[in-house]
Structure 1
Amino acid sequence: MARPFSERVVGDDWRQDAEGWILEQLELQGDSLSGSIEQPRVRPWSTQLTVPTSAGRLWFKANAAALAFEPALQLELARLAPASVDAPYAIHADRGWMLTRDRGATLRETREPTVEDWQRVVVEVARIQQAAAPHRDRLLAAGLPDYSPPTVLDRFDRIVEIFSQHPADHPARVDADLKLRLTAVRPAIADAVDVLAHSRLPATWQHGDVHPNNVFALDDGSMRVFDFGDGQWAHAVEALCVPYGWITSLASIPWEPVLEAYADTWQVDPRDVDDMFATVELTQAVNRAASWSAFLDEASAAEWKDWGEGPIRHLSRVLDS
């Protein structure tokens, strides 16, 4: 069995390889290292290095196999929506490696987000989605997973079956009772898929994890989303599920103005988006469960213990919708 991702990326051999590549990219750009490279975070699915340079601080990110598409995806999105997505400083698409420029503080680090902040965030997401929507083949070729409505039902069946085969002590185990309850909501998921296939908004790029830690608050008041590793090709409105969860559970601001800002950007009636949102809660739960399971493919047993309830938590949300 291969070593877990988090163990590989703290090894001297990996670090030497990564730093060698970083130095090559700096030389190609005419920049130089101005301090020591640090590793502030290691997760089961990614790690980051901070790289002080003559051109300012850079961030190096390395992804596990399930997220290795992120550098190529960000490059494509930057080409499609250059006013909204930063082009990487450098990428190694085959290895899932990327260097990006430091854009300063995140929205969460800057302040408690206001309703106006959240409106700017979802408008920015909608603009990227509009730029991406005509380019399905291009983005899928970059590695973006296809989680569009027609694919959801098969994915649901597959993950229920896989999770039900986990050992009894596995954190992502679907036991017999949960399997029966999940199977009972399958017709509702099928109905949701049919509704979304004929909705007024398309499948497009979906960020997957829009929250204040994944948004830069720029000095001019604009917002810039980043961290594209959770991305999917899915129904557009699925992008609102994480913001809705943050706002309704962690913030004391109203949701309706945020939904309205998103709808206005798409030039559709907010009531239509609200109707779609009730439906995408089902498909997004399935897609998020599948993503979490994929993220943990290279996790250690201890990491599965720490993080492994995620797939079941998201999958079980279909029971609440």
Structure 2
Amino acid sequence: MDRPFSERVAGEDWRGEVEAWAVAELARTGREVTGPTEQLRIRPWSTQLTIPTQHGTVWFKANCPTLAFEPRLQALLAELLPHAVDAPLAVEPDRGWMLTVDRGETLGDHREPTLDDWQRVVTEAAQMQQVLAGHRDELLGAGVPDCSPATVVDRFDRLVDTLAGLPGEHPSHVSPELEARLRATRPAIADAARQLDESALPTTWQHGDLHPRNVFAVEGGELHLFDFGDAQWSHAVEVLSVPFGWVTTYTDLAWRDVLEPYCAVWGTTPEAVEADWRATALTQPVNRTLLWWVALEQATAAEWAEWGEGPIHHLTRVLDA
């Protein structure tokens, strides 16, 4: 376990363990492996392989230790929300391993997402959040990080301390000048956390990376979400941060047209959630920074050079809020 995650999962010994486990687990579901596995990608936080069977392709995913909760979480979500999440074929939660069926193209890969697509995605997320708001203990027990409003200020302090303490040449290093600017936002972050703590909308599950390429449109018109390694337990409106970035950066759609159906699920309006939305512009960057930091925990030097600006990029978003 001392080797970086990406080096470990690139080894033949690791692949051999995975293939032996997958063959045995797939046999329990009546599937026989019919060809060689293919490792499609390796990242500091996860790797994916495809496995051909007589009943179609099966996907294998392994997460780094800090994100190893995903298989357990997906199994729980599938139990609580079977209409919205596929149950894994098999999980090995202690090692962060999971097998799932191939659903084909994602909604975002199938076509350029339309306004209707985005509205359906955020509506589905809101409906899931409503159900999951009552399952806090189960989700935290599955390993979902607790990023609720009351925890944000302490997290911000720890992240600033950690990044400011890195060597100057580290890609996530916070300089003394930037540290001072970040610490000056602390009162505003505390106010934002207080606003969300007193919000009419709840703290609940949020996907963490919600966009049409993390959604399948399955037979019958249902949407099934996947890729839950970025999930957190935080204020409901934080789930909109990634959709907002996608819609306003990559499309000509009006954000309000996407926001309204999300609000409608909660029986509210964009005007009524405006204060919460402004507050999440300060809390979500802090929580997103945590995800990047732990995802790179076992990164190589080369991976830190490639991805290491992620924590600083997200943390400094509080300066724009």
The correspondence of residues 194-233 of structure 1 with structure 2, limited to 5 A, is 194-233=194-233
User: Using the alignment, how far apart are the partners of 1:174 and 1:3 within structure 2?
Assistant: 27
User: Using the alignment, how far apart are the partners of 2:208 and 2:26 within structure 1?
Assistant: 31
The correspondence of residues 303-314 of structure 1 with structure 2, limited to 5 A, is 303-314=303-314
The correspondence of residues 245-256 of structure 1 with structure 2, limited to 5 A, is 245-256=245-256
The TM-score normalised by the length of structure 2 is 0.98
CA positional deviation for 1:220: 3.9
> CA-to-partner distance for each residue in 1:201-226, whole Å, 9 max, x for gaps?
11111100012221113354432221
User: Using the alignment, how far apart are the partners of 1:293 and 1:104 within structure 2?
Assistant: 31
2:105 matched residue in structure 1 = 105
The answer to which of 137-146 and 29-38 deviates more is: 29-38
User: Using the alignment, how far apart are the partners of 2:222 and 2:29 within structure 1?
Assistant: 28
User: Using the alignment, how far apart are the partners of 1:297 and 1:29 within structure 2?
Assistant: 35
Percent identity among equivalent residues?
56
2:128 matched residue in structure 1 = 128
**Does structure 1 conserve the Cα–Cα contact (< 8 Å) formed by 2:64 and 2:298?**
yes
Amino acid paired to 1:204:
T
CA positional deviation for 1:257: 1.3
**Does structure 1 conserve the Cα–Cα contact (< 8 Å) formed by 2:40 and 2:50?**
yes
CA positional deviation for 1:41: 0.7
Amino acid paired to 1:150:
A
User: Using the alignment, how far apart are the partners of 1:107 and 1:278 within structure 2?
Assistant: 29
> CA-to-partner distance for each residue in 1:98-152, whole Å, 9 max, x for gaps?
0011111012211111111000000111111111110100111111110000000
2:241 matched residue in structure 1 = 241
**Does structure 1 conserve the Cα–Cα contact (< 8 Å) formed by 2:83 and 2:224?**
no
Secondary structure (helix, strand or coil) at the match of 2:144 reads coil
User: Using the alignment, how far apart are the partners of 2:270 and 2:221 within structure 1?
Assistant: 25
2:292 matched residue in structure 1 = 292
Amino acid paired to 1:125:
A
The correspondence of residues 69-218 of structure 1 with structure 2, limited to 5 A, is 69-218=69-218
Amino acid paired to 1:266:
W
1:283 matched residue in structure 2 = 283
> Mind listing any 5+ residue stretches in structure 2 that lack a counterpart?
none
1:316 matched residue in structure 2 = 316
**Does structure 1 conserve the Cα–Cα contact (< 8 Å) formed by 2:260 and 2:270?**
yes
> CA-to-partner distance for each residue in 1:222-271, whole Å, 9 max, x for gaps?
32221000000011100000000000011111110111010111112221
Label 1:83 to 1:219 Cα distance change in 2 as closer, same or farther (>3 A). closer
User: Using the alignment, how far apart are the partners of 2:102 and 2:114 within structure 1?
Assistant: 24
**Does structure 2 conserve the Cα–Cα contact (< 8 Å) formed by 1:118 and 1:258?**
yes
User: Using the alignment, how far apart are the partners of 1:231 and 1:60 within structure 2?
Assistant: 19
Secondary structure (helix, strand or coil) at the match of 2:233 reads strand
Do structure 1's residue 59 and structure 2's residue 59 form an aligned pair? yes
**Does structure 1 conserve the Cα–Cα contact (< 8 Å) formed by 2:129 and 2:206?**
yes
Amino acid paired to 1:195:
Q
Amino acid paired to 2:282:
L
User: Using the alignment, how far apart are the partners of 2:50 and 2:126 within structure 1?
Assistant: 30
**Does structure 2 conserve the Cα–Cα contact (< 8 Å) formed by 1:34 and 1:54?**
yes
Do structure 1's residue 36 and structure 2's residue 33 form an aligned pair? no
**Does structure 2 conserve the Cα–Cα contact (< 8 Å) formed by 1:44 and 1:295?**
yes
User: Over aligned residue pairs, what C-alpha RMSD do you find?
Assistant: 1.1
User: Using the alignment, how far apart are the partners of 2:111 and 2:77 within structure 1?
Assistant: 27
User: Using the alignment, how far apart are the partners of 1:214 and 1:286 within structure 2?
Assistant: 22
**Does structure 1 conserve the Cα–Cα contact (< 8 Å) formed by 2:210 and 2:243?**
yes
**Does structure 2 conserve the Cα–Cα contact (< 8 Å) formed by 1:120 and 1:222?**
no
